[in-house]
Amino acid sequence: MRDVAIIGIGMNKWGELWSDSLRDIFVTAALPAIKDAGVKGIDSMYIGCMSSGLFVGQEHIASLLADYLGVLPASATRVESACASGGLALRCGWLDVASGESDIVLVSGVEKMTDVGGDEATYALSTAADMEYEAYNGATFPGLYALVARDHMRRYGTTPEMLAEVAVKNHWHGSRNPNAQFQMEITREQVLGSVMVADPLHILDCSPITDGAAAAILCPLEMAKDLTDKPIVKISGIASATDSIQIAHRDDLCAFNAVKVSAEKAMAKAEKKHADIDLIEAHDCFTIAEICVLEAMGFFKPGEAGPATLEGVTRRGGRIPVNVSGGLKSKGHPVGATGIGQIYELVKQLRGDADERQVEGAKCGLAQNMGGTGGSSVATILEVVE
C-alpha cells in the first residue's frame, strides 16, 4: 500500500445558498481544490452526498457532477453514509490511491438542503435513523440526542451549562472562519434562553440546515513532493466502523462504539497516542454529541468532557483545541459535505494557513465524522510531513 498525501483543498462559503444549484455548489469547491493542487486532471473522484434525491430531486449525481466539472470520462462514485458520507468518500479515495488504482483522486462532499421546507428537510434527515422503529414513531434527531443528553446528565452530572459552553466555544471559533455559516459569537445565556427543541436541547444546541461543499485532491506521497511546494499533509491513518442504527439496541446510549472503534483503528494505523494529537475536528451535530464523541475516542473519561469544556480545555489555546473551524454548530452542517469540510480545516491548520484561528504548532490532527446517532463513523489522522 502506498502512502497518501493531500495536495489540494477547496471549500465554498457555507450557508443558505438560494441562488446556487447542487452542481454550482460542488464546482465552487472542486475547482479551487484542483487549482490548489496544481494538477491538470484527475483519474477518479468520490462524492459524499447523503440525500440529493430528497433535497433537490436529483439522483445519479456522480455522472452529473463529473460532467459539470468537465472531467468526463473519469471514474466517479457517489458515497452515502448519512452525515458520515464525506468522511467515507475520503476513505474510498484513500483506498484508490493507496492501492495503486489511481494517482490523482478528487474526494468531495456536497449537500443542497435549503430547496425544501422545514418538514421536508426533517423527513430527509430522519432517513438516517431507523425509519421503521424510530422515525415512524415520531423520533427526530433532536429527540434522539435529547435522550442521549438526559442519560449523560443522569449518569455523570452533566449540566445544561456544559452543553451551552460547547456552542459558545464553537461560535467563538467560527466567528474567525470566513467560510462559516454563522460568523458571530454567542453567550451561554443566549443558548440557555433560546427556544427549547427537545429538552434539554435548545435551538442553539443544534447544528443548522446548510448548503455547501468541500473538496480535496489526493495523490501518492512520493508524487506529492514533485507536484507541490506547499507543506505536504499525509493521511497517516483512516478507519470506519458501524453500530446499531437504532439507539434502543445499544447497551449504552452515551458510549458511541462506532466512534470508539474507528478512532482506535485510525490512531493505531498512524501509530499515534492521544498526546500526539494537536487538534480535533469532531462531529458536533448537537452539543451533547461533541461531549460524547470526545469521551468515546478516549480524550476524556466518561463524564469529564463537559467540565473540561467549561474550563476552556477544548478552546483554541487550550490543551486540546476542538472544532476551531466552528464545527457543525457554527460552520454549518451540509450533511454530505461535513466530513470533507473537517479535512479542509485540518489541512489549513497543518499548513499554517488558518490565519486568525491558527492553532500554534499544529503538526497532527484528527477528524471524526459520524452518521445519524453514531450508526457509522469515520476517523482520520492527518500529519504534516517534515
Residues involved in catalysis = 83, 333
| The three grid cell numbers given for residue 74, joined into one nine-digit string | 473519469
Judge contact between 86 and 341, C-beta under 8 A: yes
* Cell 455559516 -> residue: 181
Q: Which residue has the cell 464546482?
A: 27
Contact predicate 217/33, CB 8 Å? yes
Task: Extract the C-alpha cell encoding 164.
Answer: 451551552
Return the CA Rg of the chain. Answer: 19
What is the rounded CA–CA span in Å between residue 56 and residue 62? 15
3-state per-residue secondary structure call for 21-68: CHHHHHHHHHHHHHHHHCCCCCCEEEEECCCHHHHHCCCCHHHHHHHH
Write out the three cell numbers for 41: 486532471
How is residue 8 written as a grid cell?
489540494
Among 13, 30, 7, 361, residue whose Cα is nearest residue 177: 13
**CA–CA dist 90, 75 (Å, integer):** 15
